[in-house]
Amino acid sequence: MGRKISIPGKDGAFSAYLAEPRSGAPGPTIVVAQEIFGVNAVMRQTCDWLAAEGYWAICPDLFWRIKPGIDITDQTEAEWAQAFDLYKAFNVDTGLEDLGATIAAARKMGATSIGTVGYCLGGLLAFLTACRTDTNAAVGYYGVGIDGYLGEAAKIKSPVMLHIAEEDGFVNKESQAKVKAALKGPLFEIYSYPGRDHAFARQGGKNYDATDAAAANARTLAFFRKHLR
Domain count, the chain: 1
- What's the whole-number mean pLDDT along residues 65-80? 96
How buried is residue 182: exposed, middle or buried, by Cβ count under 10 Å (0-12/13-18/19+)? Answer: middle
Q: 229 or 18: which carries more pLDDT confidence?
A: 18
Tell me what pLDDT residue 160 has.
98
Q: Are 111 and 90 in contact, with CB atoms under 8 Å apart?
A: no
pLDDT in tens, 74-133: 999 999 999 999 999 999 999 999 999 999 999 999 999 999 999 999 999 999 999 999
Q: Are 72 and 6 in contact, with CB atoms under 8 Å apart?
A: no
What's the pLDDT band for 64 if we cut at 50, 70, 90?
A: very high
Q: Are 43 and 59 in contact, with CB atoms under 8 Å apart?
A: yes
Is 163 catalytic? The answer is no
Q: Looking only at Cα atoms, what is the longest distance across the chain?
A: 45
Is 168 catalytic? The answer is yes
Tell me what pLDDT residue 229 has.
77
- What's the whole-number mean pLDDT along residues 181-185? 96
Q: Are 95 and 42 in contact, with CB atoms under 8 Å apart?
A: no
Measured distance CA(124)–CA(142) in Å, rounded: 8
Measured distance CA(59)–CA(78) in Å, rounded: 24
Four-point Cα dihedral 16, 48, 224, 129, nearest 10: -20
- What's the whole-number mean pLDDT along residues 173-199? 98
Tell me what pLDDT residue 26 has.
78
Q: What average pLDDT is seen over the chain?
A: 96
Residue ranges making up the domain that contains 218: 2-227
Whether the pLDDT of residue 10 is over 70: the answer is yes
Q: Are 58 and 3 in contact, with CB atoms under 8 Å apart?
A: no
Q: Are 158 and 138 in contact, with CB atoms under 8 Å apart?
A: yes
- What's the whole-number mean pLDDT along residues 27-50? 97
Out of 61, 74, 98, 168, the active site residue is 168
Report which of 105, 108, 114, 161 is spatially closest to residue 134, judged by C-alpha positions: 114
Across the beta sheet with 2-9, the strand order is: 2-9, 12-19, 56-60, 28-33, 113-119, 137-141, 160-165, 188-193
Measured distance CA(70)–CA(84) in Å, rounded: 13
pLDDT in tens, 195-205: 999 999 999 99
Out of 98, 147, 198, 209, the active site residue is 198
What's the pLDDT band for 24 if we cut at 50, 70, 90?
A: confident
Tell me what pLDDT residue 23 has.
81
**Rounded to 5 degrees, what angle do the CA atoms 44, 46, 49 make?**
110
Measured distance CA(73)–CA(49) in Å, rounded: 19
CATH number at residue 147: 3.40.50.1820
What's the pLDDT band for 1 if we cut at 50, 70, 90?
A: low
Query: Looking at residue 71, what DSSP letter applies?
Result: B
- What's the whole-number mean pLDDT along residues 169-176? 97
Q: Are 158 and 187 in contact, with CB atoms under 8 Å apart?
A: yes
SS3 of 93-144: the string is HHHHHHHHHHHHHHHHCCCCEEEEEEECHHHHHHHHHHHHCCCCEEEEECCC
